Amino acid sequence: MRVDLSRRLVPDELWELLAPLMPKFVSRPQGGGTAPVEERAVFAAVVYVLTSGCAWRHLPESFGVSPATAHRRFSVWTEAGLWRRLHRAVLDELGARGDLDWSSAIVDAASVRAKSGAR
């Protein structure tokens, strides 16, 4: 099940775009720490949590990744700007294929009146 779900959440085409953008993790020179985990499995686990609404602590064991590892990597990737770079890479790839249609777009915005005396 893990392989099928992981491949569905992170297809090969997406992984090919994503892999070069990911920050590299190196083992600690003094040793110790946790065992290395396959990056694609961690990414699939993070995508599962983000798309399913599942709490980190309820991440299924079938991913082979602990909830703590998945959340820690998500935080590191967020700080490193991975999501912004991935979004740009996907848009660039779709644009290069001619699969984007910019003839119409939706912009979402909110406007809130400032309270009197607010700066």
Q: What is the pLDDT of residues 100-117, one digit of tens each?
A: 887 877 788 887 777 776
- Average pLDDT for 11-40: 82
Q: CB of 45 within 8 A of CB of 63?
A: yes
Distance CA 23, CA 80 (A): 7
Tokens 């294929």 locate to 97
pTM listed for this prediction: 0.77
What are the domain boundaries of the chain?
2-20+37-97
Instruction: Pinpoint the alpha helices (H) of the chain.
Output: 2-9, 12-18, 39-52, 67-79, 82-97
pLDDT by residue (tens digit) across 5-23?
888 999 999 999 999 999 8
**pLDDT, tens digit, 9 for 90 and up, residues 44-96:** 999 999 999 999 999 999 999 999 999 999 999 999 999 999 999 999 999 89
